[in-house]
């Protein structure tokens, strides 16, 4: 597949016009000003189009598409205990499959090529990811609020089984991560046991919620005499490459831990604002040299997977919380949305439009009225672009979404099955 005369964002996020980009198999084979000599297959005219890396969603709970719009304008604890937890208690593997498939369809529509997920019914999630052609770092979230014997935790056994069966599945598109839900939903013995198991595996990564709310952050200090980040370092959770989701209330000492341990911070600006949890000052994270990525959190708390909305909110929210209009440049935000997320997922041969990299790419319409005039295409991408401007999403060199059409997903059946699954769950509540 050859793109001709197309505008690109290169690996340094610089704009280059009138480029030729050749995709061969699952890789970017050529980028240049001259047309390559040996071309076979489809050729796409790039006039009015931008080709760039796809987005990497660094924190999500994909099956929770089933709860979109379910329980709004509620205090967090009431929302969880009165709406979300009772609904989740009635979930089935089939419902999770279709909820995940809907999330993958929405992700492709908005330019997301890979997602980091924390949930359960992970086998069913993996089937949906495999069938959709997308990429996903899936983790079976471990929680132990009652302090039960770790050896008797079903979730621990499920996690081990899932890792053995699905890590590196679907031609490497599925990576299995470990996951501690959070400090406040487990005891130290559980965290230590999970960390020990993670260290025994080669190259495994960790996902964990950190300092999402002020209450969580302060209560951890009361319980343990240290912040959630310090607690997670002490218990060994950060001994493997980790993604710390949220970090709204992480302080300077926490950022030092993240830097020292190589932890990625996945900011979730829209969800955090919607739940009134707060705003993560990502400029401090950037200044500290900590890898920054972006997540959507769940559709139940967002309520969409529109990644351009996340990018813009990341920038504007940080400007508000820091009271600094110069905070977070558009390039900072785009880097977090692409390479920052790819690095967090361990997909180091992706996240940038570069020769030899995986062809995990998106094509954006830059001809519309919202994208003109072009004083700065980078600025327009961050502040003016929307998910509806994504024309094509490519994963491993395969076009999975183009102009509203899916090559791997039966979208009508998916929507019907999601509606059916949701009705059945509500009837059982």
Per-position DSSP letters for 185-214, written without gaps between them: GS-HHHHHHHHHHHHTSSS--EEEEES-SH
DSSP bridge partners of 49? 365
Q: Which pLDDT belongs to residue 27?
A: 98
- Average pLDDT, whole number, for the chain? 97
All domains of the chain, ordered by start, with CATH?
A: 2-53+350-406 (2.30.40.10), 62-345 (3.20.20.140)
Sequence-ordered list of residues with C-beta below 8 angstroms from that of 332, at least 6 positions apart, any chain: 282, 286, 292, 315
Each residue of 181-225: pLDDT tens digit?
Answer: 999 999 999 999 999 999 999 999 999 999 999 999 999 999 999
Q: Which pLDDT belongs to residue 145?
A: 80
Residue 147 has pLDDT above 80, yes or no: no
Q: Which pLDDT belongs to residue 75?
A: 84
Residue found by looking up tokens 């330019």 in the block: 111
Residue 152 has pLDDT above 90, yes or no: no
User: Among the residues of 242-367, which ranges form H helices?
Assistant: 252-261, 269-274, 282-288, 307-322, 330-335, 341-344
Q: Which pLDDT belongs to residue 240?
A: 98
Q: Which pLDDT belongs to residue 83?
A: 95
Q: Which pLDDT belongs to residue 385?
A: 98
Q: Which pLDDT belongs to residue 218?
A: 97
pLDDT confidence bin for 37, thresholds 50/70/90: confident
Could you give the maximum distance between any two Cα atoms of the chain, in Å? 67
Q: What is the mean pLDDT of residues 393-401?
A: 99
Q: Are 265 and 230 in contact (CB under 8 A)?
A: no
Residue 134 has pLDDT above 80, yes or no: yes
Each residue of 358-391: pLDDT tens digit?
Answer: 999 999 999 999 999 999 999 999 999 999 999 9
DSSP letter for 84, please: I
Q: Which pLDDT belongs to residue 151?
A: 76
Least confident of 1-15, 142-156, 411-425: 142-156
pLDDT confidence bin for 146, thresholds 50/70/90: confident
Among 153, 238, 138, 139, which Cα is nearest to 187's?
Answer: 153
pTM value > 0.95: yes
- Estimate to the nearest angstrom the gap between the alpha carbon of 1 and the chain centroid: 27
CA angle 379, 108, 331 (to 5 degrees): 20
Residue 282 has pLDDT above 80, yes or no: yes
Among 16, 29, 390, which Cα is nearest to 1's?
Answer: 29
Q: What is the mean pLDDT of residues 303-310?
A: 98
DSSP letter for 201, please: S
Residue 288 has pLDDT above 90, yes or no: yes
């Amino acid at each position: 597949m050859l793109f001709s005369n197309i505008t690109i964002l290169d690996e340094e996020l610089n704009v280059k016009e009138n480029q030729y980009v050749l995709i061969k198999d699952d890789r970017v084979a050529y980028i240049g000003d001259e047309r390559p000599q040996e071309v076979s297959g489809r050729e796409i005219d790039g006039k009015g189009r931008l080709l760039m890396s796809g987005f990497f969603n660094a924190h999500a709970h994909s099956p929770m598409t089933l709860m979109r719009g379910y329980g709004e304008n509620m205090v967090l604890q009431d929302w969880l205990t009165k709406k979300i937890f009772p609904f989740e208690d009635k979930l089935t593997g089939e419902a999770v499959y279709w909820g995940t498939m809907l999330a993958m369809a929405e992700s492709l529509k908005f330019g997301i090529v890979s997602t980091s997920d924390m949930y359960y019914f992970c086998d069913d999630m993996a089937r949906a990811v495999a069938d959709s052609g997308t990429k996903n770092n899936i983790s079976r979230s471990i929680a132990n609020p009652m302090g039960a014997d770790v050896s008797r935790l079903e979730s621990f056994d499920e996690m081990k089984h899932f890792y053995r069966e699905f890590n590196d599945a679907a031609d490497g598109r599925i990576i299995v991560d470990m996951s501690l839900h959070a400090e406040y939903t487990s005891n130290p013995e559980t965290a230590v046991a999970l960390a020990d198991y993670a260290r025994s595996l080669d190259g495994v990564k960790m996902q964990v919620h950190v300092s999402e709310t002020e209450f969580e952050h302060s209560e951890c200090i009361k319980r343990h005499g240290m912040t959630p980040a310090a607690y997670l370092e002490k218990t060994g959770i950060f001994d493997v490459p980790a993604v710390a989701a949220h970090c709204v209330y992480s302080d300077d000492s926490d950022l030092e831990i993240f830097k020292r341990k190589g932890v990625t911070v996945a900011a979730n600006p829209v969800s955090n604002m919607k739940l009134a949890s707060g705003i993560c000052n990502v400029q401090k994270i950037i200044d500290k040299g900590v890898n920054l990525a972006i997540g959507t959190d769940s559709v139940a708390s967002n309520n969409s997977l529109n990644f351009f909305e996340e990018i813009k909110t990341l920038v504007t929210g940080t400007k508000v919380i820091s009271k600094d209009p110069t905070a977070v440049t558009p390039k900072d935000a785009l880097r977090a949305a692409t390479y920052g997320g790819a690095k967090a997922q361990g997909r180091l041969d992706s996240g940038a439009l570069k020769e030899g990299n995986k062809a995990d790419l998106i094509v954006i319409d830059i001809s519309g009225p919202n994208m003109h005039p072009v004083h700065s295409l980078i600025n327009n991408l961050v502040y003016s672009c929307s998910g509806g401007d994504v024309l094509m999403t490519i994963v491993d060199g395969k076009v999975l979404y183009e102009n509203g059409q899916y090559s791997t997903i039966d979208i009508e059946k998916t929507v019907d099955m999601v509606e059916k699954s949701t009705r059945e769950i509500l009837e059982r509540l």
